Structure 1
Amino acid sequence: MIRIILLLVITSVFAWPVTAAVRIKDVADFDGVRGNDLVGYGLVVGLDGTGDSFRNAPFTEELLSGLLERLGTNVTDDALRSKNVAAVVVTAELPPFARSGSRIDVGVSTIGDAKSLLGGTLVMTPLKAADGNIYAVAQGSLISGGISATGEAARVVEGVPTAGTIPSGARVEREVAFNFPEIENIRIALRNADFTTAARIEAAINRDFNRSIAATQDSGTVIVRFRDLGDVSPAHVLGRIENLLVEPEDRAKVVIDHRSGTIVMGEHVRISSVAVSQGNLTLRVSEAPLASQPNPFADGDTVVLPRSSAELANEPGIGFVKLPGDASLGDLIEGFNALGVAPRDMIDILKSIHAAGALHADLIVE
């Protein structure tokens, strides 16, 4: 007998934040105080036979040939048969106000058919920004993020051996031009745009400095006018501002992650008057094949005749439970508990409540 229960089996975890005061630098960024993404293309050498095959990755052969020529060695294509080399893409982030000579971390990922970067060394690789200029140079031994073992007829892989990192693997060669001490004002950009949060940031800054130096431009921007304070250091002012406490506001949201079965609800989620019922639908299919045999000493073959039976049953569930109008998150959970709803069914019920127009929150499904 095969029993198929037509339910979405997903484990759900509920969490909701408690509103509390947080620092401004935890909810907003300062205009100009930002990093820059860098990218480069290079070679990893010293692999134990797990590098690119030149037949499937001809760009690796071209890159290796060019590297050897720059080092004063001329080779032909037939001489390049090494499997200890892999072509990689190198990524990094240039921090704000990074100075020439400082070091930054880099990430390395293969782009060919290399099996593993374990034990490899990245050869000097220039890292460029979006403007095409070189801002850092990376080189060093990799720390791989996985393990790979290969035999004659089997291969075991744990983690991601085709990607790795080099802590402090790049040295900054060019600085980003930004005359921070000469700025007239600075914009505070909220990570989650909200008029209420922007107004609270404005009020907190003006209250702390005892003068009107901050103004809300829109739901995501607050402008701070430094020069209204006189001849002061912008760095000292921002250091004072970023530690001021505010209570952030946000839209009511319900976030559902299908992959992990996680449900996260904000504290401002509200439910209109709605009735909910939940039950189970069970389909049972059984097989009882019948063998048909010929008479003794008669010509013929034994034939197996299929015989199936199917039964569809709607198991009794809990009746309708009505949630009152303007129900809070606690009321919603109590309603689920009253229904005896298993965590695996809550995602479907939330979607249905939202489709009925009774869930007053943004439903985000990932």
Structure 2
Amino acid sequence: MRLKDLGRFLGRRDNMLVGYGIVTGLAGSGDSPRNQATRQAMANMFSQFDLTVPQDQIQSRNVAMVLITATLPPTANMGDKIDVNVTSTGDARSLAGGTLIMSPLRGPDRRTYALAQGPVAVGGYSFNANGNLRQKNHPTVGIVSSGGTVEYPVRSELSADDGYLTFVLKNPDSMTAERVASQINHSIAPGTASSLDAETVKVRIPYARAELNAYVSRIEDLSVIPDQSSRVVINERTGTVVSGGDTRISPVTISHGDIRVSVDTEFSASQPENVGIAGRGVRSLVIGNSDLAVEEGAQRIAYSFPHTTVSVLVSSLSQSHVSTRDVIAILQSIKAAGALHADIVVQ
């Protein structure tokens, strides 16, 4: 894999932006008049155009107050376009057909880095009539494609004061970090890089700072075989098992039985005769008769050969028509027995 896919240079990062605004043009699916924040936001917007409208006179359901989020890339110039996401903060039913009015997007330093405006694409709907509701996806969440305009340029500083670049791995691993440093030293020059820990690799920058971008792109294009730890990921809700093809299993014998318990209940009613003559307090009696049946199926036995992998074992169990739930239970039992040489991650 390329180093560009394994990690990043410290200092090159995305920046989060957030703001709030108003979506207008909704067909009666916006915030209700009892939403005071929406009425105050509308009054503040009108005041910017020399219109004085009291909050109690704003009763329209064609507007909705939204929060706006966006991601600013590591390098951005004035005029660059970015996508923005809008989410309803009030009781609006849908943002479909609405338009976001110009709103500032700020960073953690409270500086306005972008302005957002444009039509909102929802990708869903919500219709309600006479208590019948039809909804698709989440109509209170939308996106304004290329709706943000960068107003303040951003530059990422890669070089440090000590004259070294810092390469950070996405998945920390000591062997992978050592391989990265070795590959850089082999391709650039001996002594150029050294691994500090399982996540960080220090790279000496060239003397000509003007060639820093070409130097970084050359390093990111280098290929390294990353080392991976053996893991088996199990999702018990969906019955999904994911593992590496080379995850090893020691010789083990599996004996997995199947016991089924079923309960059948039959209800019968005792109807008294001459109910009208007997008077009040006389009613039918419902009696339930339960039948409990226990069935023990044939025992399934699977043998693993020496140096077996999880993929071979799962494939063999699937050919034997073993359910995914049983496969999960078998893998957990093998791990408990110490025969599965991998970490089990249960989601």
CA contact (8 A) 1:44 1:87 kept: yes
* Counterpart among 99, 112, 119 of residue 97 in structure 2: 119
CA contact (8 A) 2:159 2:165 kept: no
Residues 320/99 of structure 1: CA separation in 2 closer, same or farther (3 Å cut): same
**Residue in 2 that maps onto 1:6:** none
Residues 82/202 of structure 1: CA separation in 2 closer, same or farther (3 Å cut): same
* Counterpart among 322, 331, 334 of residue 350 in structure 1: 331
- Is 1:309 the counterpart of 2:290? The answer is yes
Distance in 2 (CA, whole Å) between partners of 1:296 and 1:63 is 72
Q: Per-residue deviation at 1:295?
A: 6.8
Distance in 2 (CA, whole Å) between partners of 1:196 and 1:349 is 31
Q: Per-residue deviation at 1:284?
A: 2.3
* Counterpart among 7, 30, 50 of residue 51 in structure 1: 30
Identity of counterpart residues, as a percentage? 37
Residues 232/303 of structure 1: CA separation in 2 closer, same or farther (3 Å cut): same
1:144-176 residue CA offsets vs partner (Å, 9 max, x unmatched): 121222223312111111111111111111123
Distance in 2 (CA, whole Å) between partners of 1:346 and 1:259 is 14
**Residue in 2 that maps onto 1:214:** 193
Matches within 5 A, 1:227-238: 227=206, 233-238=211-216
**Residue in 2 that maps onto 1:109:** 87
Residues 316/177 of structure 1: CA separation in 2 closer, same or farther (3 Å cut): closer
Matches within 5 A, 1:263-342: 263-292=241-270, 299=278, 303-323=284-304, 327-333=308-314, 336-337=317-318, 340-342=321-323
Distance in 1 (CA, whole Å) between partners of 2:53 and 2:310 is 71
CA contact (8 A) 1:283 1:311 kept: yes
2:44 counterpart SS class: helix
Say what the alpha-carbon RMSD is for the aligned residues: 2.5
Distance in 2 (CA, whole Å) between partners of 1:152 and 1:328 is 58
CA contact (8 A) 1:181 1:235 kept: no
* Counterpart among 120, 132, 135 of residue 157 in structure 1: 135
Q: Per-residue deviation at 1:205?
A: 1.3
Distance in 2 (CA, whole Å) between partners of 1:302 and 1:83 is 54
**Residue in 2 that maps onto 1:223:** 202
**Residue in 1 that maps onto 2:230:** 252
Once structures 1 and 2 are overlaid, which stretch shifts more, 156-165 or 278-287? 278-287
1:360 counterpart SS class: coil
1:122-163 residue CA offsets vs partner (Å, 9 max, x unmatched): 111111112222111111111112122222331211111111
CA contact (8 A) 1:291 1:302 kept: no
What residue identity is the alignment partner of 1:238? V
What residue identity is the alignment partner of 1:59? A
1:169 counterpart SS class: strand
CA contact (8 A) 1:180 1:234 kept: no
**Residue in 1 that maps onto 2:19:** 40
What residue identity is the alignment partner of 1:37? M
2:137 counterpart SS class: strand
CA contact (8 A) 2:74 2:155 kept: no
**Residue in 2 that maps onto 1:141:** 119
**Residue in 2 that maps onto 1:4:** none
What residue identity is the alignment partner of 2:5? D
**Residue in 1 that maps onto 2:47:** 69
* Counterpart among 11, 25, 48 of residue 4 in structure 2: 25
Q: Per-residue deviation at 1:289?
A: 3.6
Q: Per-residue deviation at 1:259?
A: 4.1
Once structures 1 and 2 are overlaid, which stretch shifts more, 321-330 or 37-46? 321-330
Distance in 2 (CA, whole Å) between partners of 1:224 and 1:109 is 42
Q: Per-residue deviation at 1:282?
A: 1.9
1:245 counterpart SS class: coil
Distance in 1 (CA, whole Å) between partners of 2:273 and 2:143 is 76
Distance in 2 (CA, whole Å) between partners of 1:295 and 1:152 is 45
Q: Per-residue deviation at 1:302?
A: 6.8
Q: Per-residue deviation at 1:232?
A: 5.5
Once structures 1 and 2 are overlaid, which stretch shifts more, 301-310 or 29-38? 301-310
Q: Which runs of 5+ in 1 are unaligned?
A: 1-21
**Residue in 2 that maps onto 1:8:** none
- Under a length normalisation based on structure 2, what TM-score does the superposition of the two structures give? 0.89
Q: Per-residue deviation at 1:324?
A: 5.1
How many residues get paired? 343
Greater relative CO, 1 or 2 (CA 8 Å, sep 6+): 1
CA contact (8 A) 2:76 2:153 kept: yes
Distance in 2 (CA, whole Å) between partners of 1:362 and 1:71 is 62
What residue identity is the alignment partner of 1:172? V
**Residue in 2 that maps onto 1:365:** 346
Once structures 1 and 2 are overlaid, which stretch shifts more, 59-68 or 272-281? 272-281
Distance in 1 (CA, whole Å) between partners of 2:310 and 2:272 is 70
What residue identity is the alignment partner of 1:126? P
Q: Per-residue deviation at 1:67?
A: 1.2
